[in-house]
Structure 1
């Protein structure tokens, strides 16, 4: 009886202490208390603020709207971690491979998306949280890019409809059409573009393009397919659009209307050339507006934008996904649903120029009425909204970036080395890519 009384007394002392310690429990993770939560739960004590680790890259501009989300959601805090574009994807791949260390919310670029989507079980199906109800808020082609089977693995961020940014003052000096509607009408195919480049070079000495590979990329992205078919077989050899892109790369190089500036590895030199007026055009997406403004601040007022020859393509754009490593999937979904709503995509567009994937906002005065001083007062939103509906979308495949890096780097060497045979070198690079994929 004495032992029983002692045990009861001890229990009365220890049990309250255990309850106190349990309520104060230490974190098993520097961001989330993931060790005591089940997938999709609130992570234990409902009185604790859920902290969501979010990975994205510079230029996405989510850090500009996250404070508002945190203010409106006192029980949830998004903790942003901002990386360089390439580092964000490498770090995520490492975390997915290790099954640990991943974020609650991950941003993935369309060029990288397929290498993650081939492991759909690594991410939550957002339909479990009601994503299917949001489908009509987004452009259909964009929405469909993150579907695997019947699973919706991501919500769309911005899109990248391609346009032609050009120096209106240099075009005018060369006697070329300079008003956006005239450029679109009179430089409507790539042969006319090359001839305009020839005239520009003769009259002003300015390069039409920073690099012939820029032209290759634009024409490549206007095709029905890229480097792989739906079964991930490499089809570069059979793809007529790739052959056309290479043909025009060679023409631009041989005509001497393109520079040798390397945007990937020598950004400072390229920026200086753009800012000093040595380059007259930039073929890019809607987000390219910020690129030009940042790289060429001294050229304010001289730029305009027009439709690119032979129809637009999509260059860039991303998705937000929720890795299965997150123990706070419901809260993470609430966060991405808010951040990617039409209202917030419009807000990001005002901040950075990233173009929304939610067409309901295209009628907003931000796009229909707002002119931009840097662009001579042009209402760029009208152009972006128009071309976004005609984007041709291709499947990239999980190995797209591996192949593109090999071709891009190799053709840059060809651009600089004038004695190189570009066609011979291109197909050798394709073979090099095939070999690397075989040994991967």
Structure 2
């Protein structure tokens, strides 16, 4: 899952501290060989572990404390500080795709999970598992979820605009992004409002659909200005801004969060992990009003995470076992049912408990089928070390500047290119 907001900057002292402290705790040895009374799991957003850990506690006698942070922009600096100082991180920590890439620069801060758990290299989507492996071969994280794409839409607001509400009819409206824009224009004509929350969510969806090199090439050189995936995302978002089909609600802002409940917009691009966010922001009174339809243009991957064990944990063996437990097929299915993170475990993706699952909050949408069918068509992509910083501090602000009329197309593009070079040049921790 990916609830990120802005780049975290570290002082030179903190940067040095990460390297200096990376070997203080022996990898793979629990403190004095003792069994822990408690293990701490740090996550952001909604990973769906609330019920799963209860069974783990019964099975092992080890208490599990879930430390959940609502948004990644709050979670990220706390984790950076904990790794930099050598204390304060959970025994198991969630590593979102952007964080994972940045921490790979110094993998010695992370336990090599291959030494402590069974061989799971064939248990997950192959590209997802490989992303958790560092350049020197260390297994830094076990895969949790993947952000396969769909569109969440408000049935009641579509009906009020004279649009179809059945998900098959809605999907037929936007077999491609041109159809999506045309639908947005009809919605605005009928209601005077933007159908989509923000053009930046659409830009993310298009970019991840295209795959390949996004802001970096495989040598981690900045190629944002020439990337076909970025160009496609940019042009689609600009077309949406020109058509005025969005509510221009900045993603993750208070206005965006409240807009789900108040009907400020009627649709958002919805990776699987976003289901829990939509339901949480919309509240119980809007249960059944939301539905889920396939994304225009086919599959795409927006977000996803891994579970890693910092070397500062006093109990790396038990922490690794807990990470293994939480990423098992059974646990991934349970997490999906509770909060929506899409499994990456191959057995989970084939299990009828997953493929046949319907989500009551979203008008009993067959979310297992919708997301499961698209996940295998995801194109591999290369994110690079500062992907999130470029996306959030360069691409999205430039698009919002154009959408709000603060910049022309040329000015907005130049703003993006300049900021991408600056944000992307910092190579991590």
TM-score between both structures, scaled by the size of structure 1: 0.83
Match of 1:222, SS? Answer: helix
Where structure 1 has 5 or more consecutive residues not aligned to the other structure, the ranges are: 1-35
Q: Which residue of 1 aligns with 2:239?
A: 251
1:326 maps onto 2:316 in alignment:
no
**Equivalent residues of 1:105, 1:320 under 8 A apart:** yes
SS, match of residue 361 in structure 2? helix
Say if 1:68 and 1:169 are closer, same or farther in 2 by CA, change over 3 A: same
2:281 match: 295
CA distance in 1, matches of 2:30, 2:224: 48
Q: Partner of 1:23 in structure 2?
A: none
SS in 2 for 1:286: coil
Question: 1:214 is matched with which residue?
Answer: 201
Distance 1:384 1:196, change over 3 A: same
Q: Which of residues 18, 28, 33 in structure 2 aligns to 1:40?
A: 28
CA distance in 2, matches of 1:189, 1:309: 5
* Equivalent residue in structure 2 for 1:387, among 347, 359, 374: 374
Matched-pair contact (CA < 8 Å) for 2:48–2:336: no
How many residues of Structure 1 are paired with residues of Structure 2 in the alignment?
400
Whole-angstrom distance in 2 between the partners of 1:306 and 1:45: 51
Deviation digits for residues 347-405 of structure 1, max 9, x if unmatched?
Answer: 22222222221232335454344433332222221111111111123221221122222
* Equivalent pair of 1:40/1:327 in contact (CA under 8 Å): no
The whole-number CA distance in structure 2 between the counterparts of 1:401 and 1:293 is 25
SS at match of 2:145: strand
CA RMSD of the aligned region, Å? 2.5
TM-superposed deviation, 1:115: 0.1
Are 1:280 and 2:266 counterparts?
A: yes
Distance 1:356 1:388 in 2: 9
| Structure 1 residue 324 displacement after superposition | 1.9
Gaps of 5+ in 2: 1-23
CA deviations on 1:202-222 (whole Å, 9 max, x unpaired) are 123331211222221211111
- The alpha carbon displacement at 1:342 in A equals 0.8
- Shift in Å, 1:409: 5.4
**CA distance 1:336–1:202, change in 2 (3 Å):** same
For 2:32 and 2:39, locate their aligned partners in 1 and report how far apart those are by CA, in whole Å: 15
Match of 1:417 in 2: 404
Q: Deviations over 1:40-88 (max 9, x none)?
A: 2332264x535433322241233432232122112x4433333342233
Q: 2:387 aligns with which of 388, 400, 403?
A: 400
Larger Rg: 1
Distance in 1 (alpha carbons) for counterparts of 2:354 and 2:145:
15
Equivalence for 1:141: 127
Q: Which has the higher contact order (CA 8 A, sep 6+)?
A: 2
Q: Distance in 2 between matches of 1:167 and 1:189?
A: 20
Structure 1 residue corresponding to 2:222, chosen from 221, 224, 234: 234
Question: Match for residue 378 of structure 1?
Answer: 365
1:78 and 2:71 matched = no
Residue 358 (structure 1) aligns with? 345
Question: Any idea what SS the aligned residue of 1:236 has?
Answer: coil
CA contact (8 A) 2:117 2:321 kept: no
Q: Which moved more, 1:65-74 or 1:360-369?
A: 360-369
Distance 1:412 1:376, change over 3 A: same
Partners of 1:162 and 1:308 within 8 A in 2: yes
Give 1:334 shift.
1.1
Deviation at 1:415, TM superposition (A): 5.1
Structure number with the higher helix fraction is 1
Q: How far 1:275 moved relative to its partner?
A: 2.4
2:278 corresponds to 1:261: no
In 2 relative to 1, CA 130–184 (structure 1 residues): closer, same or farther, beyond 3 Å?
Answer: same
Q: 1:155 and 2:167 equivalent? A: no
Aligned partners of 2:27 and 2:111 also within 8 Å: no
Please report how far the alpha carbon of residue 154 of structure 1 lies from its aligned counterpart in structure 2 after TM superposition.
0.9
